[in-house]
Structures are given as structure tokens and as C-alpha cells.
Amino acid sequence: MNLQLYLKWIYILIMIITISCKGKNNDLIKIKEINSPSQENFVQKYLKKGYHVIDEVSADLDGDLKNDKIYITSSSDEITNAQILIFKNINNSFSLWAKNDTSPIMGQKEYSKTVTKGAYFTIEYNRDIEDKYNQSNYLTFKFDGNKFLLHKFSQEIYDAKADKNLPVKTWTNKDFGIVNFENISYDFIENLK
């Protein structure tokens, strides 16, 4: 095969690949645009004044094979409640699904992480009380009937003075009934104990 014929075949292959990938490249560009920080201004309009995003979690919370978003937000002030926002993914456009402005998490200092599994998500946060004890707290929510309900609250406590772990305490919906995500607050958690 001569060089000219060989180059012609290479050119044809490149053109075929370019044409067949053209639509896919556009889809990739759209995905990048949606996930870029400038496109996530939908979060900004729901933030409490002076708050900023400290964590973002993407997960399919309702089983529709589309990643929804959970945002944990906080102010610079350590003694204010963190805000939690959940957005539903509707064809790569996000709509506010649930909002909690009174979470029991006292800002960025206490927040640890959010873990998801299927229709459940757990928010982990830690509280240290003046060299007395350290608390690891776990709030687990379940997606049920197009809303998020408190499923379980667990607390692990390390007693610093006695230098030992205390037994894990767990409360479930059998203890507190049906409680909507929006109604979870510092006072609610303190009243469980």
C-alpha cells in the first residue's frame, strides 16, 4: 500500500470517529457545564446569610438512577447551626427537595462527613466538651414517600476523665416516631436523651 493511500485511509477513519463522537462530546460539555461551580448558583439562593458550602455529596437518594445533591453549609461563626440542603436531580437540573436550617450540628467545627447508601444517608458530627468527653454523633435519614425521615440517631461517647468508651446509645423511629428531616434540631436531639 502506498503512502498516499495509507494517509487517505487514516483521514477517513479520523473523520468517521469525529462524526460519530460529535454528539457525545456535546453531552460531555453539557455535563461539565452543569457540574461547574458557576452553574451551581442554584445553591446560593437558598443559603442562609453569611453561610458557605462546607461539603457536597452526590448520590441517588430516590432510586431513579440520577445523582441528587446534599449540601452542608455553615457560617464562620462556630456556634451557629449548620444548614443542610437537599436537591433533587430532574434531568440534570436541580430543584430544592428538603431544607433544614436548625440542624443539631454546630457549624464547620463539628461536622465530619456525610455517608450515603441507597435511600439512606448519615450525617456524622463530633462534639468535644471541655476535656470531659468526646461525642461521635450519627444522624441517619431515610427517603420514604418523597420525603426524608429520621431513621436513627446514634451516639458514641468517650469519657476523657475515666479514659474509656461508654456504651453506644441508639434511638430509632420506634423511640421518636415519624420525624421529618426539616424538624431535626439541637433541642430535638437533646430531648431524646
More confident residue, 24 or 75: 75
For range 128-149, the mean pLDDT: 93
Contact criterion met (CB below 8 Å) for 141 and 173: no
Instruction: Determine the pLDDT at residue 40.
Output: 63
Is the per-residue pLDDT at 188 higher than 50?
yes
Which burial class, exposed, middle or buried, applies to 135 when counting CB atoms under 10 A from its CB (0-12, 13-18, 19+)? middle
Instruction: Determine the pLDDT at residue 5.
Output: 60
Contact criterion met (CB below 8 Å) for 126 and 108: no
Is the per-residue pLDDT at 26 higher than 60?
no
Residue 14 pLDDT level (bands cut at 50, 70, 90): low
More confident residue, 20 or 106: 106
Q: Which of helix, strand or coil describes residue 130?
A: coil
Is the per-residue pLDDT at 93 higher than 80?
yes
| C-alpha grid cell, residue 100 | 433544614
Is the per-residue pLDDT at 94 higher than 80?
yes
Specify whether the backbone of 65 is left (phi greater than 0), alpha (psi in -120 to 50) or beta: left
Q: Structure pTM?
A: 0.77
Write out 67-119 in H/E/C secondary structure.
Answer: CEEEEEEECCCCCCCCEEEEEEEECCEEEEEEEECCCCCCHHHHEEEEEEECC
Instruction: Determine the pLDDT at residue 11.
Output: 55
Is the per-residue pLDDT at 135 higher than 60?
yes
**Residues 82-94: b if buried by 16+ CB within 10 A, e if exposed:** bbbbbbbbeeeeb
